Structure 1
């Protein structure tokens, strides 16, 4: 219950956890309120360095009735306009065990994880960029490199420590609090604040990969060849095909394929032969690669564009779907189409094993029109009509790539039975709805 005192939440937090709570005008406050989509204006930023300090922050926020927002890497999500921002950047320790288990603080970044695992020849299915926070990506599912080989980030999660809405610190896994463990593997930050994750890493010493670039002379042929290669290839081949619009003479646009294979370069070139033989190939860069080198640096700050589009899981990479992608690219609006290869280990997980239920997908399809930053809602809505064709061949949405919010969007991310179970668990562990993830799941 909220307090009946005039003491501010900032004052109380400074008293309870000195040197961990920061108000406006401090450098820690300015850093903690920034996210990829812009700055927020919270009452206080808390930067805990332990689970106990984080639990204290949660208890104080609940006492004052202050909204809680969590900042992991700051790469995505909504700016916190008020309340308490809990900045997890102080919880970034990475510990590699004797075997293949690695414990990662929720405030670490994936580039740091890759660097810590490199001397051990290990890797973890992670985000595409070094700067993405471990916590946010994991709780949303974790589609990334090696998803075909080892599954999503949540599929290799073995345990987590989190702070509940009552300020209790609990360890969740398949035996301890199994329902809560199920919910956090795709249910977002709606159930508590995770302080650390334990993942099962995998050997990545024999990794080859790189890029192939194509011109725009026959995009449809590139899409079809990529589809044929993906469907016929072993789980050890992972790839993302992105078709970009031109951005001036130095960035002419066209299909760009990123690949990674656990194997040899000869094996990789043999698998990719249908693509390498296309006359539209302009550049080939393939060879041995470190897992960390697959990760890219995110562009700094908020993009100067407005993106409009969507994403969905494609159960089949049909000619009709690929044709719709070509039509979207020809809509007259600068458009990006991304096809992330799934299948493999991703599909060998039961649809009810995690909240990520669309496990029959062969690919994740993302279509984004790129509009000027000052485009109006009416212009965005009009542009969207020309872009949704590929999404008619998909089901669901991937929450980490979805920047639209509301109950209708939530119903697309989760099938009815999955969402019902998520809401039941929410009612058990957070009936007061203290934690409201970007895609908010209300208690049943």
Structure 2
């Protein structure tokens, strides 16, 4: 960040006078609350937080940040693991007050503002028995998840979140507002679908919706001693399973209620099911898993899709310490499974490893059709060290890094950008693969000075 001019305070006061939202400075009583994000491991102190109430506020904030050469971060839901929705000393453009959702049930579309969480979207769309692809925690922000690609319970059937993105309105670094779609600025639209927040501030997302109302879902756990048998079965079963069937794999510690007391604190492996087909066929779907080993717990039942979406919210509220690392996984070799078994004892009760399926409909989109490169991977893996106590920060961080290092040689070079910490430019290049050069060219066209660089950054082509 360059040195602020002597009249900076006067100019920032003029900015404040143009806003419909708030401008929060370090001496404001709401500053600490405003700079708090989901991951309590992050402690950054921006010089200004602009809580935008409208597109006009976004434009004013971008213009101010550009004119004063401020490091500028964009915050939607605040779930960014490495804390790239905040910045030290610069400016945060906070979109969390822009929460409108407009559903067109006849067209099966929804126009969503960037401050929405996926819980906001589900609330609006489920009234019409509709949904789009999102994550597995409803408090996650729409903006960050979408721009990174997005995957969740509906992915095998309906693809990534970006595969359901129809258009976006975006404020560029020069302050212009553009509409990006397959027909308007198609190069920018291509880049937005997986390229992260590199190209501007998206102020509106238009999504395709699908009929999803009731699902059959819930967890199934096995003893940790059954891990290798379950993972070997899972790697063979999942690619052949109908796309109505989704199940992500996990290793975890059983929390307290509502689980049986005898299992509290036990390390287990498990599957989290979501079945979109007829309820009366769920037994034939899940029975093959039972045949591998006897589950120690299962609770699978019909429920509203929105109920499934909030199932992990209470377990993972804002304010925990988080450290995560991810990889794309094409195959689960016996050697990889052996490493997963070696690290299956989690360091803290909330720590876990998940394998999220990204096959099915995801594979029917070519690797060059969107910025998301790994269209032939079968899973998106994330290893998460989580705990509410800051004293456990080193323990959960070391476990996550060591676990990731042990399995990385059996994974792909790149990872889902939303599951990355600040891991360096080589890792970003590996994630985008053959699409990286094209992203650089689009970056040079729409943000040649790299104003939007507080992210998993794609550098402009020289």
**In 1, Cα distance between equivalents of 2:399 and 2:75:** 33
- SS at the partner of 1:208? strand
In structure 1, the gaps of 5 or more residues are: none
Matches for 1:377-392 after TM superposition, within 5 Å = 384-385=401-402, 387-392=404-409
Match of 1:182 in 2: 190
What is the distance in 1 between the residues matched to 2:108 and 2:399? 50
User: Counterparts of 1:245-264 in structure 2 under 5 Å?
Assistant: 245=253, 250-264=264-278
Q: Quick one: distance in 1 between partners of 2:47 and 2:151? A: 34
Residues 1:56 and 2:64 aligned together: no
Q: Is the 8 A contact 2:151 2:161 kept in 1?
A: yes
Do residues 419 (structure 1) and 436 (structure 2) align? Answer: yes
Instruction: Give the Cα–Cα distance (whole angstroms) in 2 for the partners of residues 331 and 300 of structure 1.
Output: 19
The 5 Å alignment of 1:270-309 reads 270-295=284-309, 296-297=312-313, 299-304=316-321, 307=323
Tell me the number of residue pairs that the alignment of Structure 1 and Structure 2 aligns. Answer: 441
Q: Deviations over 1:266-319 (max 9, x none)?
A: 322212212123443022212212111122316234434x646x3222222343
- Write the mapping of 1:28-427 to structure 2, written as runs, cut at 5 A: 29-37=31-39, 38-76=42-80, 77-78=83-84, 79-97=86-104, 98-245=106-253, 250-295=264-309, 296-297=312-313, 299-304=316-321, 307=323, 310-329=325-344, 336-368=352-384, 373=390, 384-385=401-402, 387-395=404-412, 396-415=414-433, 417-427=434-444
Partner Cα distance (2:400, 2:419) in 1: 19
> What TM-score, normalized to structure 1?
0.91
Distance 1:328 1:45, change over 3 A: same
The aligned counterpart of 1:439 is: 456
Shift of residue 236 of structure 1? Answer: 1.3
- Rounded to whole Å, the distance in 2 between the matches of 1:265 and 1:379 is 39
Instruction: Check whether the contact 1:331–1:387 (CA below 8 A) recurs between aligned residues.
Output: no
Aligned-pair distance for 1:382?
A: 8.8
- Cα distance change of structure 1 residues 432 and 374 upon mapping to structure 2, 3 Å threshold: same
TM superposition score normalised by structure 2: 0.87
Q: How far has the Cα of 1:186 moved from its partner?
A: 0.9
CA distance in 2 between partners of 1:145 and 1:159 (Å): 22
Q: Compared with structure 1, are the counterparts of its residues 167 and 274 closer, same or farther at alpha carbon in structure 2 (3 Å cutoff)?
A: same
- Name which of structure 1's ranges 404-413 and 147-156 shifts more when overlaid on structure 2: 404-413
The answer for the alignment partner of 2:260 in structure 1 is none
Distance change >3 Å, CA 55–CA 103, structure 1 → 2: same
- Cα 1:368–1:132 shift into 2, 3 Å: closer
SS of equivalent residue, structure 1 residue 414: helix
DSSP 3-state at the match of 1:281? coil
2:24–2:31: 8 Å Cα contact kept in structure 1?
yes
Deviation at 1:62, TM superposition (A): 1.3
Distance 1:383 1:232, change over 3 A: closer
CA distance in 1: counterparts of 2:122 and 2:191, whole angstroms: 26
Structure 1 residues 437, 100: closer, same or farther in 2, change over 3 A? farther
1:88-115 C-alpha deviation (Å, 9 max, x unpaired): 0121100001321111110000011111
CA apart distance, 1:331: 9.8
Q: Deviations over 1:347-403 (max 9, x none)?
A: 111011111111111112233567985579899669745553332222111110111
Q: Which of 1 and 2 has higher RCO (CA within 8 Å, sep 6+)? A: 2
- Shift, 1:70, TM fit: 1.0
Q: Distance in 2 between matches of 1:354 and 1:130?
A: 25
Cα gap change, 1:269 to 1:180, in 2 (>3 Å): same
CA distance in 2, matches of 1:18, 1:100: 32
Match of 1:24 in 2: 26
- Residues 251 and 267, structure 2, Cα contact 8 Å, conserved in 1: yes
Q: Please say if residues 229 and 271 of structure 1, whose CA atoms lie closer than 8 Å, have aligned partners that are also in contact.
A: no
In 2, are the aligned partners of 1:164 and 1:193 still within 8 Å (CA)? yes
> How many angstroms apart in 2 are the aligned matches of 1:376 and 1:297?
21
CA distance in 2, matches of 1:108, 1:376: 30
Q: Is the 8 A contact 2:358 2:378 kept in 1?
A: yes
